[in-house]
């Protein structure tokens, strides 16, 4: 049973929503970030980057205090205000090719600890602790975690009803995406949504693993510090964007390797040939068409690699995942990559556009060989997670990517 709750969001005023909201901080290049900070005084990026005007380095502790101060300034200037009533928020993001629509809500840290909310990849403790400290010092979170759930007729009916009404926000950003938000504060509909999610046995984290883990670590810590803890305090919940599985888009990451671990190209191909059937494609760009098939670019030529079933044993759901197959057959034993998260020999790049990056990055001389594969499916993700297994890092690039500060959750 998944616990979801309405909450009183802190939100930008209707006239400033387009100016206030932003992409995730990491999504901006330095030039884009500078332009936003220089020419848009309402941007939420001013809160996330409060030391910008000082042009000097500050400690994380100082920065978090400045973030909280800047956030308070935005509220006192009435750029933000807090809703009077708890609500769910329907958020629709229309890209040039796809429309996503789900519900922003508060979800329970208890569900994460009880394995109702499940993760599909591991997290770094250093990042967990840093974001936990950030949440405690700033007192808010402005970017929801992306969770996915099986399509539900009751929830879909409520969403479609509100989509016929005028949205609270409606604006288009420079990336040609349009953003719409509706507020659901009707008690009957809130009850219907809450009850509908009680029938959902599992929510899967699609994006935001570190934010989820940090929020839940902080919830445990604050519960111990609060002698009058009830379990209903805001810190017991974190903000999520709940999206039906049918709307989720999953893309793959390409792998780029800097060297062949002391092997010549000929020796490397011999080792690869023990596990894969190799077909040289020369200059023809090759993209896999089925599972257990990989594209490889080496010395100016593409190769199609097809797994020899006799040379590999499937032992569990994870062993069937292409990213795991590549690691256990090539990256680790042949190329000597043990820590695929931190080894400097390997670099990842999401392949949303299906570009020729596999070729161009190797041709530049920075890398010796590259690999591509098909994206994982939602069925693979769920099967692996339900077996209490974790995917290798950089297995999935998942959309939609969410705006920050359309709704803010205060702890």
In this structure, the answer to whether residues 271 and 243 fall within a common structural domain is no
* 68 and 51 both lie in a single domain: yes
Bridge partners for 238 per DSSP: 107
Q: Does 18 lie in the same domain as 136? A: yes
Asked if residue 289 and residue 220 are part of one domain, the reply reads no
Mean pLDDT of 54-62: 73
270 and 170 both lie in a single domain: no
Least confident of 47-51, 73-77, 395-399: 47-51
> Has residue 186 got a pLDDT over 70?
yes
Residue 50: the pLDDT is 85
Share of the chain above pLDDT 70, in %: 98
pTM (two decimals): 0.92
Q: What is the mean pLDDT of residues 185-212?
A: 96
State the chain's mean pLDDT as an integer.
94
Distances 164 to 45, 158, 159 between C-alpha atoms, Å: 32, 11, 9
With a cut of 70, say whether residue 53 has pLDDT above it.
no
pLDDT over threshold 70, residue 118 = yes
Four-point Cα dihedral 184, 189, 195, 200, nearest 10: -50
Q: What is the domain range of residue 344?
A: 253-395
Residues 231 and 90 placed together within one structural domain of the fold: yes
Handedness of CA 41, 42, 43, 47 (dihedral sign): positive
pLDDT band for 354, please (50, 70, 90 cuts). Answer: low
93 and 226 belong to one structural domain = yes
Query: Binning pLDDT at 50, 70 and 90, where does residue 194 land?
Result: very high
Residues 236 and 336 in one domain: no
Do residues 59 and 180 both lie within one domain? Answer: yes
Our count of domains for the chain comes to 2
For residue 129, pLDDT over 70 is answered with: yes
pLDDT (0 to 100) of residue 55 = 61
């Amino acid at each position: 049973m998944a616990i979801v709750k309405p909450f009183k969001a802190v939100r930008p005023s209707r006239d400033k929503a387009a100016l206030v909201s932003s992409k995730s901080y990491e999504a901006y290049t330095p030039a884009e970030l500078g332009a936003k900070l220089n020419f848009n005084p309402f941007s939420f990026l001013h809160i996330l980057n409060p030391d910008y005007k000082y042009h000097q380095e500050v400690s994380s502790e100082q920065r978090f205090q400045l973030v909280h101060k800047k956030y308070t300034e935005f509220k006192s200037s009435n750029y933000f205000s807090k809703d009077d009533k708890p609500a769910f928020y329907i958020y629709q993001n229309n890209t040039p090719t796809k429309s996503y629509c789900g519900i922003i809500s508060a979800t329970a840290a208890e569900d994460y600890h009880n394995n109702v909310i499940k993760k599909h990849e591991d997290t770094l403790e250093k990042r967990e602790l840093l974001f936990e400290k950030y949440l405690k010092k700033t007192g808010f979170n402005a970017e929801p975690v992306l969770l996915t759930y099986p399509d539900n007729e009751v929830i879909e009916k409520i969403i479609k009803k509100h989509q016929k009404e005028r949205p609270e926000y409606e604006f288009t950003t420079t990336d040609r995406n349009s953003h719409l938000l509706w507020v659901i504060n009707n008690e009957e509909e809130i009850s219907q949504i809450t009850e509908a999610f009680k029938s959902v046995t599992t929510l899967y984290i699609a994006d935001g693993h570190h934010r989820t883990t940090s929020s839940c670590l902080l919830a445990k810590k604050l519960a111990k510090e609060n002698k009058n803890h009830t379990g209903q305090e805001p810190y017991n919940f974190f903000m999520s964007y709940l999206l039906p599985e049918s709307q989720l888009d999953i893309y793959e990451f390409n792998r780029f390797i800097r060297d062949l671990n002391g092997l010549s190209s000929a020796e490397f191909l011999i080792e690869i040939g023990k596990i894969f059937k190799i077909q040289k494609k020369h200059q023809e760009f090759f993209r896999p068409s089925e599972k257990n098939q990989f594209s490889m670019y080496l010395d100016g030529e593409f190769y199609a690699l097809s797994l020899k079933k006799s040379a590999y044993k499937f032992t569990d759901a994870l062993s069937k995942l292409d990213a795991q197959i590549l690691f256990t057959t090539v990256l680790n034993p042949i190329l000597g990559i043990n820590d695929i998260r931190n080894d400097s020999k390997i670099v990842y790049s999401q392949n949303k556009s299906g570009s020729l990056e596999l070729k161009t990055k190797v041709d530049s001389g920075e890398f010796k060989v590259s690999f591509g594969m098909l994206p994982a499916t939602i069925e693979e993700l769920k099967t692996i997670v339900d077996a209490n297994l974790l995917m290798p890092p950089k297995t999935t690039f998942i959309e939609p990517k969410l705006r920050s500060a359309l709704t803010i959750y205060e702890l």
